């Protein structure tokens, strides 16, 4: 099995897309909301603008979370940063901008947050996105601090990230964990498995956890399911419900 940090250095609770349901996703406002709710780790998505700048957004298109239109990869960074990425969520967030990865890293450091950064490339930009994002993270992250955990559904993006910044830890992201997950883990020198909790059966949960591999589950919004997964030994839960950790501890 691949080597990994011992003990596992990341918190169990991770605010999905920065701030879960408390703020517009993949924004600096979301990260501040996550931190204000007591989270010490956030997750967010990164893809490239047309001019090769990594920016925070989940979809390949702009319509759902901004007032723009079309594909993210068809717009330069300067144009993307003029868009309103908050008004769709609520009037209190009107004028919130789409951050660059560099801005997100600065925000993480100011809030003293750990991060899972999902590399989410547009089709055809897998290796480029992985390489550029990893290089930027490696160059800007302070020495001695717990590094961000990179993950991706794209093997090509993860491989390019590994080549660009081999010291950054990487997690394999699946909707459903395949039977040969250990083969993929070794091939990518990954440190963790990330998967959809809804597709995770008891047998696979036990298999991964018994192997000593950190298992991170998305998106866990029900208290009962969260308690079940934590009791089984999962290493991390991505959630939209920022009140859930306190509710389970009450």
Encoding tokens for residue 129? 């996105």
Q: Which phi and psi angles does 167 have, rounded to 5°?
A: -85, -10
Q: Which of 212, 174, 213 is nearest to 195 (CA)?
A: 174
In a domain, 62, yes or no: no
Encoding tokens for residue 148? 């961000």
Provide the pLDDT for residue 250. 62
Provide the pLDDT for residue 249. 81
Please pick, among 16, 75, 188, 194, the residue that the annotation labels catalytic: 16
In a domain, 140, yes or no: yes
In a domain, 185, yes or no: yes
**What domain range includes position 237?**
13-51+101-249
Provide the pLDDT for residue 6. 62
84 φ/ψ sector (left φ>0, alpha ψ -120 to 50, else beta): beta
Q: Which of 98, 108, 103 is nearest to 27 (CA)?
A: 98
State how many domains the chain has. 1
pTM listed for this prediction: 0.96
In a domain, 132, yes or no: yes
Question: What is the distance between the alpha carbons of residues 182 and 130, in angstroms, rounded to a whole number?
Answer: 22
At residue 194, the 3 state secondary structure works out as strand
CA 66 distance to own-chain centroid: 20
Provide the pLDDT for residue 37. 98
194 an active-site residue? no
188 an active-site residue? no
In a domain, 216, yes or no: yes
Q: What is the CATH number of the domain that holds 36?
A: 3.20.20.190
In a domain, 81, yes or no: no
Question: What is the distance between the alpha carbons of residues 175 and 46, in angstroms, rounded to a whole number?
Answer: 18
- Cα torsion 15, 17, 21, 22: sign: positive
Interior angle at CA 230, CA 226 and CA 234, nearest 5: 110
Cis peptide before 31 (omega within 30 of 0): no
Give the residues of the chain that fall short of pLDDT 70: 1-6, 250
Q: Are the beta carbons of 114 and 130 closer than 8 angstroms?
A: no
Question: What is the distance between the alpha carbons of residues 131 and 139, in angstroms, rounded to a whole number?
Answer: 12
In a domain, 6, yes or no: no
In a domain, 124, yes or no: yes
The secondary structure of 102-140 as a DSSP string is HHHHHHHHHHT-EEEEEE-PPTT-HHHHHHHHHHHHHHH
List Cβ neighbours of 189 (8 Å cut-off, separation of 6 or more).
2, 162, 170
Provide the pLDDT for residue 7. 87
Q: Which of 59, 95, 62, 101 is nearest to 80 (CA)?
A: 62
Q: Which phi and psi angles does 224 have, rounded to 5°?
A: -65, -45
């Amino acid at each position: 099995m691949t080597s990994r940090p011992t003990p596992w250095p990341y918190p169990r609770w991770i605010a999905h897309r920065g701030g879960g349901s408390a703020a517009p996703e993949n924004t600096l406002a979301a990260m501040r909301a996550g931190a204000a709710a007591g989270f010490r780790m956030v997750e967010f998505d990164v893809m490239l603008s047309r001019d090769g700048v990594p920016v925070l957004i989940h979809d390949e298109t702009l319509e759902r979370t901004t007032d723009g239109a079309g594909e993210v990869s068809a717009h330069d960074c300067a144009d993307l940063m003029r868009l309103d990425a908050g008004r769709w969520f609520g009037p209190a967030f009107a004028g919130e901008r789409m951050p660059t990865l560099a801005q997100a890293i600065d925000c993480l450091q100011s809030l003293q947050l750990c991060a899972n950064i999902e590399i989410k490339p547009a089709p055809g930009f897998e290796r480029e996105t992985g390489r550029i994002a990893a290089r930027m993270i490696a160059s800007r992250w302070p020495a001695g601090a717990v590094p961000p955990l990179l993950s991706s559904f794209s093997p090509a993006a993860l491989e390019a990230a590994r080549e660009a910044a081999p010291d950054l830890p990487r997690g394999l992201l699946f909707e459903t964990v395949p039977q040969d997950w250990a083969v993929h883990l070794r091939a990518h020198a990954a440190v963790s498995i990330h998967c959809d909790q809804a597709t995770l059966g008891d047998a696979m949960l036990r298999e991964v956890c018994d192997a000593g591999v950190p298992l991170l589950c998305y998106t866990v919004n029900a208290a009962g399911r969260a308690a079940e997964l934590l009791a089984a030994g999962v290493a991390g839960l991505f959630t939209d419900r920022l009140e859930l950790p306190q509710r389970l501890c009450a």
